[in-house]
């Protein structure tokens, strides 16, 4: 693992160039430019609010501000996750012309796809921060958990991105399977709702590490309380072990990539 990290550090300039290239290509000749980084999460938040309003109407319970804030806080990292998975899955195939020419660590492709979406997250988060500053939500010391939670989300996203990008190189229908998964996953991930809504059944939703991270982010930002330590350890194990295992698999199969392009 240390050798693989050393390679990434050695080729950090290439990683930066690929990340910046992905960002420019995404917004090139787009009328709204970088505003799309804000608009797409807004669509997800709007959809979530519609779901919240419908649930509140059918249950007879009033919709409060914290419910709306929870949707916004969880929608942004969810948009980052699904965007990163979509772009990283096809990153090796779409850069086949570079893979067959010279040697460099091929991990830079899925990683750059994740970092490009992290750029989008930083833009949309700026708007969310301004919104939260002028909201009745109180800042607590538990907000210090947020960098760790974002780091775990990034690690898990990179792990999934490397795994799916490698799989898609060998089996091109993987990208279609991934597209179905990320499309349907929002119904089984507490983005538009809270896992606690389903009582004991909500525990099944938390078996998804991303769900744990989203619920933890909501806890420290909106609810002003610490994340559940047991579930946080569970998500951390998935993130750390996931990046170690997927990176190892990726690295061991890397010598076959040029033949499969």
Encode pLDDT of 55-107 as tens digits.
777 766 767 777 778 888 999 999 999 999 999 999 999 888 888 887 888 99
Is the Cβ–Cβ distance between 123 and 38 less than 8 Å?
yes
Calculate the alpha carbon distances from 238 to 156, 157, 181, 228 in Å. 7, 11, 18, 16
User: Which tokens is 52 given?
Assistant: 């919240």
Write down the mean pLDDT value for the chain: 87
What are the backbone angles phi and psi of residue 147, rounded to the nearest 5°?
Answer: -55, -40
Exposed/middle/buried for residue 101 (C-beta within 10 Å: 0-12, 13-18, 19+): exposed
C-alpha distances in angstroms, 115 versus 43, 170, 249? 22, 24, 21
Closest CA to 119 of 165, 89, 80, 152: 80
CA-CA distances (angstroms) from residue 52 to 65, 137, 257?
11, 19, 45
Tens of pLDDT, residues 189-207: 988 888 887 777 788 889 9
Q: What is the pLDDT of residue 74?
A: 92
């Amino acid at each position: 693992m240390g050798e693989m990290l050393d390679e990434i550090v050695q080729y950090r300039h290439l990683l930066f160039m690929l990340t910046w290239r992905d960002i420019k290509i995404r917004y090139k000749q787009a009328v709204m430019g970088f505003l799309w980084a804000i608009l797409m999460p807004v669509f997800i938040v709007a959809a979530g609010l519609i779901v919240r309003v419908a649930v509140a109407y059918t249950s007879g319970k009033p919709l409060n501000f914290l419910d709306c804030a929870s949707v916004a806080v969880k929608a942004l990292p969810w948009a980052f996750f699904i965007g990163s998975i979509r772009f990283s899955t096809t990153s090796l195939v779409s850069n086949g012309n570079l893979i067959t020419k010279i040697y460099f660590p091929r991990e830079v492709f899925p990683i750059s796809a994740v970092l490009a979406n992290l750029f989008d997250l930083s833009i949309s988060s700026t708007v969310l921060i301004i919104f939260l500053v002028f909201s009745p939500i109180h800042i607590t010391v538990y907000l210090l958990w947020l960098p760790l939670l974002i780091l775990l989300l990034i690690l898990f996203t990179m792990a999934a991105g490397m795994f799916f990008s490698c799989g898609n190189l060998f089996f091109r229908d993987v990208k279609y399977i991934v597209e179905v998964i990320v499309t349907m996953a929002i119904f089984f991930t507490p983005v538009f709702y809270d896992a606690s809504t389903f009582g004991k059944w909500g525990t099944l939703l938390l078996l998804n590490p991303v769900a744990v991270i989203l619920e933890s982010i909501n806890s420290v930002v909106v609810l002003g309380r610490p994340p559940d330590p047991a579930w946080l350890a569970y998500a951390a194990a998935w993130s750390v072990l996931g990046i170690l295992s997927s990176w190892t698999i990726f690295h061991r199969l890397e010598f076959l990539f040029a033949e499969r392009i």
